Amino acid sequence: MEVVSSDWQLDGFKNDLDISGIASVDGSRCLVVSDEGLHVQPALIDLASQTITATRAVRVSPIVKSKKSEIDFEGATYSETTNSYFVVGSHGLGGSDSEFDPNRFSLFQIGVDPETGRIDAADMRRASLLPWIKSNPITAPFVRKPLEENGFDIEGIATVGDDLYFGLRGPNHEGDCLILQIGITTLFEETGGDLIVHRLPLGKGRGLRDITPVQGGFLFIAGDGSAKVNGKKSKKRYDLFFWDGKNDKPENLGTLPKNDGKAEALLVLEDSASEIDVIVLFDSLPGGAPLQVQLRRADPLTTR
């Protein structure tokens, strides 16, 4: 893993101190979300100038209208199978004294024109993972518990084929970080299908901060789950991992450089047989403080 550029910039975004997810339809158009507000923000990617520029924001309608309510967007992904973006709320509580907010338990599918990359605000529908996580024996004990008490909290979303994958910051389950897998049709059409829970042994107190698909598997960021789970303060260390989506032993690719932000979002710029270029965005830093990282495959892929 090598840091190759810190010159990228995000321009014109609302709530640019709270960027939490990004996904691209074609390498030139993308969608950015933050964990504040009720908008998703389409944007243009310019490789030459290393700039991601916001276009007109699109409002997402909450199911409960209240000034105190929020969706708490935590991730975005693009699906070639359905020609749509998926953006997800945290499915968790806002804090130790927060009440249940149904808006946070939201997953939105937003249609995209694959030829132009433009999103269709009229082609939008909502689902929720709540029924599945409440009934699963691994996740059920942590639903509606605050993150500070190792409660349930989604931080990343990815899609491969007909399935969605959700990276959890919490709970950390007996030293394992959790990734949930479920069919798109299962969620949105309420057809038969199970929630699959992948357990990755990353150590106690750790949690996922974002996940994105690449050839052969996924990249994900791991950081602290909850500062109070082990009675310790957050160390703010963020590691980048590769996971093949099958076994329970992800590969640690290295620790991201320290700054005052929280590594929250991944955008793949190039995914070739020999290397992957990815941008990391940081919550709590202006414009996400983009950092471009290059990963060289130890065993280059022979087929795409």
Alpha-carbon gap, residue 108 to 110, rounded angstroms = 6
Going 12 to 17 to 19 to 24, the CA torsion angle's sign is positive
- Note the pLDDT of residue 69: 75
Alpha-carbon gap, residue 131 to 97, rounded angstroms = 23
∠ CA 174-95-163, rounded to 5°: 60
User: How much is the CA Rg of the chain, to the nearest whole Å?
Assistant: 18
- Note the pLDDT of residue 304: 40
- 8 A C-beta contact, residue 159 and residue 213: yes
CATH fold for domain 2-296: Neuraminidase (2.120.10)
* 51-54 and 9-11 beta bridge pairing: parallel
In 90-195, DSSP assigns E strands to: 107-112, 119-127, 153-160, 163-170, 176-183
Backbone φ and ψ of 66, nearest 5°: -160, 140
Picking from 139, 136, 128, the residue whose alpha carbon sits closest to that of residue 194 is: 136
Domain chopping of the chain, boundaries: 2-296
- Note the pLDDT of residue 230: 47
Q: What is the pTM of this model?
A: 0.94
Mean pLDDT (10-residue bins), the chain, 304 residues: 94 94 96 92 97 95 78 96 96 80 94 89 92 96 93 97 97 95 92 89 95 97 73 73 93 95 96 96 95 90 54
**DSSP annotation string for 4-72:** EE---EEES-TTTTSEEEEEESSSSEEEEEESSSSEEEEEEEETTTTEEEE---EE---SS--TT----
